[in-house]
Amino acid sequence: MSIQNLESWDANGSPIEETQGEVDAFFIEEGVPLPEDVRGTQTRYPFSKMRIGDSIFIRMKEGDDSKRMKNRLSQATRTFGKKQQPEMHFVLRYRLENEISGVRVWRKD
């Protein structure tokens, strides 16, 4: 692993005299292994098990905002659906079911 010290430069291309605490020093390092991407290894929702026409009801948690919840679910369904072959599409609606507020998600295609 090798390290190179980088000098700081101003907008005119002139070196900046660094005094301790004024400018952060950055170092380029070679040979540092890239960590494995662990995003998407687990899903919170069972979208992969849903067939066309199936739906799930996701109740709103205490203190949650219905608009934020629907936005989160919308992003989750869009991200999941785009990764599938063929692409899957979902429909989301705010619902009050059995006196419980939440969002129902249907698999459209």
Instruction: Encode pLDDT of 8-23 as tens digits.
Output: 666 666 666 555 555 6
The token pair that represents 33 in the structure block:
């292994």
The token pair that represents 89 in the structure block:
């599409």
Distance of CA 22 to the CA centre of its chain: 34
DSSP 59-84: EPPTT--HHHHHHHHHHHHHHHHHTS
Of 105, 16, 1, nearest in space to 53 by CA: 105
The token pair that represents 55 in the structure block:
């739906």
Q: How far apart are CA 60 and CA 70, in angstroms?
A: 10
Confidence of residue 85 (pLDDT cuts 50, 70, 90): very high
Distance of CA 61 to the CA centre of its chain: 20
Tell me the backbone φ, ψ of residue 5, rounded to 5 degrees: -85, 130
- The answer to whether the beta carbons of residues 71 and 95 sit under 8 Å apart is no
Q: What is the pLDDT of residues 25-75, one digit of tens each?
A: 888 899 999 988 776 666 789 999 999 999 999 999 888 888 999 999 999
Residues in the chain: 109
